[in-house]
Chains A and B, each alone.
Chain A
Amino acid sequence: MKRREFIQVAGATVAGLTVTAYLPAGMARAQDKKWTIGFSQATTIEPWRAQFNKDIIAEAEKHPEVELIITDGEDRTEKQVADVENLIRQEVDALLISPKESAGLTGVVEQAIDAGIPVFVLDRNVDTDRYTQFVGGDNVLIGKAAGEWTVNALGGPGKAAGNVVEIWGGMGTQPAHDRHDGFHEFTDKEPGIKYLLNEQSGDWKQDQAYDIMATALRSNEDIDLVYGHNDPMAYGAYLAAKDVGREQDILFIGIDALPGEGVMWVHNGELAATFLYATPGAEGLRQALKHLNGEEVPKTVVLDTLTVTKENADEILKANGLL
């Protein structure tokens, strides 16, 4: 065997073995399910999305008549558009979609409706009202909850005072702006509250928030509260403060309240509070089944938030089998 050939054969063997090792066990499609429901997820690489998928899979397991197909848009609009087109070709009975962005996915949502498939838009809406139902949390509402909590923690309405650091998610994203606006609706009424950072974006990531906070701690000697647009960023800021021994002087609050992350950190006393941004996974699937079974469903379902503090954190962890 020549060297070149050997490399080719060896390469192919290694590649084949790797692929086989990673192939999911249940590739065979069950044919006896009554409903085939397609779910186009925007990305699976962030924890909230992972929880979202967990929720929807857990809900699907409660309904033996449902076959759920999940696709991953890999955080790219064009991939997600192709995913949805693919699901339309497979003639799913209902389409659930959590769009990566509104404008880019509007076209395929309409395409699905034209093909006679009911569409349930989850978490982020599209730029049309031609869908069956929208299920999602309200980021402004959650921001307000965080703002109200902050005002109370810093001295109560009218006399709240302190230096607040806000670490933004993505600067160009609607959720970040909503979480900002809701928060400021409460805190802006308090003349005693000062804002230290000018629109610093941690891109929703723990490591970037760590670096932002490390520098903020150098240039500001007095910080009372850090508001992260999600829990990992609040936790990253906490770690930065801990590394210079200042974590005791600062309250850290975040958003999302995933059991394995935010709630756990609140339980550990690292975050002071976190505000639930529920994933629409379970509710979306329930609503879709209702619709398929002939029931009327409302056009919009808004998911409630929940303030998680030391008092109720343990309860939530127990309910999720984490304690």
Chain B
Amino acid sequence: MWSLVARSKLWWGLAAIFLIGVLTSPVSSKGNNIFLSYGNLLDVLRQVSITGLIATGMTAVILTAGIDLSVGSIMALCSVVCAMLLTVPGWTPAAAMGVPALALTALVVFAALTRFLFRSMAATGSVGRRDERRLDMTRGTLLPLAAGAAAAALVLWFTIPQVATKFGVLGVLLVTPAVGLLFGAINGIVIVGGRLQPFIVTLAMMVTALGLARLTAGQNNAVLPVYTGSNAVAGFDVLRSLVWGIVPVPGLFFLAAVVIYGAVLRFTSFGRYLYAIGGNEEAARLSGIDVNGTKIVTYAVQGMLAGVAAVLFVAQYRQGKPDAGTGLELDAIAAVVIGGTSLMGGRGSIAGTFAGVLIFGLLSNLLQLHNINSNLQLVLKGLIIVGTVLLQERNLGEILGNLRLNRARGDPATREPPEGETEPRRYGGSANETS
């Protein structure tokens, strides 16, 4: 019973902030609670969508004990690409970058999928060592390549006619994430291939992508405005409207990402590999897990989610610009950590991140509704990040106990490590999962 309460601590945090919101909210003239009003909660869902998408991908990256600092810049670059595709016809830098990126992505993804399919088919019935189900030349290389090439040809057939005019909604929804995916994959390949720290590789990508975003936009276009119906297709408004007048579309993207990626982490071997790699990379490698491939895919997906977030940014704020994602990576990391994922890797869950993102979003909304000075808002947010993480990681009793212990001994240097650090590490999203 007590462990259940302890395990659901995060949701208590979310509930608490929600309750504070409801109780302290200003009231409209008709007597309605403004915080609780449907419109306001939708605003919150919409506002957290962009950070949320990034944080979802970031959770997987952090689970492998990695970090991705480049997401903000990749999103900025993608927002420029998206806005440029929508508003400028012809082979602009955005089209020259985006169309090949999409073709390459289609080639690789479909080739890999076909190969995976053949291997699964070959594996049925023969449970055995890997080399016993090796594929022959046709099914192992030629057919997957053919399938990939067909997919690439298909997307080229779809996108190239759009270059001459301007891109439509589906066009940017395909091309922009592909650009993000490409840059994410480069992150992964350099980290794995060069055996470098993710921190420094993605830091380099952060700078590079920002520079590329500025170069793509051009010196004289600090901001690329998107006026739907005048310089871009009117249909692009779909991405910021409400479905049946109820659910905001950006929110749907975020929820879909949470559900899909959450399920992948929990139910597929790929997801379990992430936990294993984060727990002990060497052990994972020795147990035959394709550590390198898994990591590259993780960073690539993170880049792709940044691309999706960029499309939503352009739709929401009607502009693409090189400074769109400034500080976004840190917001996402904060949300992931508030959600209980360990920066050391191997422990955490997407569900936690979802709660973390909502806590952050509700908090911002609450402070804004109370009309708190912008500078003070930053201070309060900082305090709440520390407070939430502290409650996540330690029990209240533990914190108080430590204080008492220190005072009794009078010498903090000689004290024992706090209990929480000696406790054996759990792998998996929550305690009831064992893998």
Chain A interfacial positions (CB closer than 8 Å to B): 4, 7, 22, 44-47, 49-50, 53-54, 168, 171, 196-201, 205-207, 210-212, 214-216, 218-219, 221, 232, 236, 239, 243-244, 260-261
What A residues does B321 contact at CB under 8 A?
Answer: 45
Q: Is the interface of A mostly helix, strand, loop or mixed?
A: helix
Tell whether B221 is near chain A: CB-to-CB under 8 Å: yes
What A residues does B28 contact at CB under 8 A?
Answer: 219, 221
Tell whether B317 is near chain A: CB-to-CB under 8 Å: yes
What B residues does A198 contact at CB under 8 A?
Answer: 371-373
A210 and B317 within 8 A (CB): yes
Instruction: Kindly report which residue of chain A lies nearest to residue B373, judged by CB atoms.
Output: A199
Q: How far apart sit A244 and B240, CA to CA, in the bound complex (Å)?
A: 12
Q: How far apart sit A47 and B319, CA to CA, in the bound complex (Å)?
A: 12
The interface-forming segment of B2-10, B32-40, B157-165 is B32-40
Chain B interfacial positions (CB closer than 8 Å to A): 26, 28-29, 34, 37, 39-40, 43, 47, 189, 193, 214-215, 219-223, 225, 240, 313, 316-319, 321-324, 365, 368-369, 371-375
What A residues does B371 contact at CB under 8 A?
Answer: 196-198, 200, 219
Q: Which one of B219, B313, B319, B324 lies within 8 Å of A44 (CB-CB)?
A: B219
A218 and B369 within 8 A (CB): yes
Beyond A54-B220, A207-B313, A215-B40, list 10 extra A-B contacts (CB 8 Å): A45-B214, A198-B372, A200-B368, A200-B374, A214-B43, A215-B365, A219-B26, A219-B28, A243-B240, A260-B225
CB distance from A5 to the nearest CB of B (A): 11
Instruction: Kindly report which residue of chain B lies nearest to residue A199, judged by CB atoms.
Output: B373
Q: Which one of B26, B317, B372, B374 lies within 8 Å of A207 (CB-CB)?
A: B317
Query: Top 7 A-B pairs ranked by shortest CB distance?
Result: A201-B374, A207-B317, A215-B368, A50-B222, A199-B373, A47-B222, A218-B40
CB distance from B311 to the nearest CB of A (A): 14
CB distance from A130 to the nearest CB of B (A): 31
CB distance from B400 to the nearest CB of A (A): 37
A218 and B34 within 8 A (CB): yes
What A residues does B372 contact at CB under 8 A?
Answer: 198
B322 and A53 within 8 A (CB): no
Instruction: Kindly report which residue of chain B lies nearest to residue A244, judged by CB atoms.
Output: B39
Instruction: Kindly report which residue of chain A lies nearest to residue B370, judged by CB atoms.
Output: A219
CB distance from B162 to the nearest CB of A (A): 22
What B residues does A168 contact at CB under 8 A?
Answer: 374
What B residues does A261 contact at CB under 8 A?
Answer: 225
Instruction: Kindly report which residue of chain A lies nearest to residue B371, judged by CB atoms.
Output: A198
CB distance from A206 to the nearest CB of B (A): 6
A206 and B317 within 8 A (CB): yes
Known: A215-B365, A218-B369. A7 touches B193 (CB 8 A): yes
Q: How far apart sit A183 and B301, CA to CA, in the bound complex (Å)?
A: 48
Instruction: Kindly report which residue of chain B lies nearest to residue A72, judged by CB atoms.
Output: B219
B223 and A47 within 8 A (CB): yes
Q: How far apart sit A199 and B28, CA to CA, in the bound complex (Å)?
A: 22
B193 and A215 within 8 A (CB): no
Q: How far apart sit A44 and B214, CA to CA, in the bound complex (Å)?
A: 9
B318 and A239 within 8 A (CB): yes
CB distance from B368 to the nearest CB of A (A): 4
What A residues does B313 contact at CB under 8 A?
Answer: 207
CB distance from A63 to the nearest CB of B (A): 20
B368 and A212 within 8 A (CB): yes
What B residues does A218 contact at CB under 8 A?
Answer: 34, 37, 39-40, 43, 369
B318 and A4 within 8 A (CB): no
CB distance from A305 to the nearest CB of B (A): 22
Known: A47-B222, A53-B220. A207 touches B316 (CB 8 A): yes
CB distance from B321 to the nearest CB of A (A): 8
CB distance from B228 to the nearest CB of A (A): 11
Instruction: Kindly report which residue of chain A lies nearest to residue B47, judged by CB atoms.
Output: A211
CB distance from B22 to the nearest CB of A (A): 14
Instruction: Kindly report which residue of chain A lies nearest to residue B217, judged by CB atoms.
Output: A45
A215 and B43 within 8 A (CB): yes
Give 12 pairs: A residue, B residue, CB < 8 Å, sorted on A.
A45-B214, A50-B222, A168-B374, A171-B374, A199-B373, A199-B374, A200-B374, A201-B375, A205-B323, A212-B368, A215-B43, A218-B39
What B residues does A46 contact at CB under 8 A?
Answer: 222-223
What A residues does B369 contact at CB under 8 A?
Answer: 215, 218-219
CB distance from A254 to the nearest CB of B (A): 14
Q: How far apart sit A243 and B324, CA to CA, in the bound complex (Å)?
A: 21
Q: How far apart sit A80 and B314, CA to CA, in the bound complex (Å)?
A: 31
CB distance from B253 to the nearest CB of A (A): 17
A236 and B317 within 8 A (CB): yes
What B residues does A199 contact at CB under 8 A?
Answer: 373-375
A50 and B220 within 8 A (CB): yes
Q: How far apart sit A212 and B368, CA to CA, in the bound complex (Å)?
A: 7
What A residues does B26 contact at CB under 8 A?
Answer: 219
What B residues does A53 contact at CB under 8 A?
Answer: 219-220
What B residues does A219 contact at CB under 8 A?
Answer: 26, 28, 34, 369, 371
Known: A218-B37, A221-B29. A49 touches B368 (CB 8 A): no
What A residues does B368 contact at CB under 8 A?
Answer: 200, 211-212, 215-216
CB distance from B240 to the nearest CB of A (A): 8
What B residues does A196 contact at CB under 8 A?
Answer: 371
Q: Which of B240, B365, B374 has the most CB of A within 10 A?
A: B374
CB distance from B79 to the nearest CB of A (A): 10
CB distance from A72 to the nearest CB of B (A): 8
B323 and A45 within 8 A (CB): yes
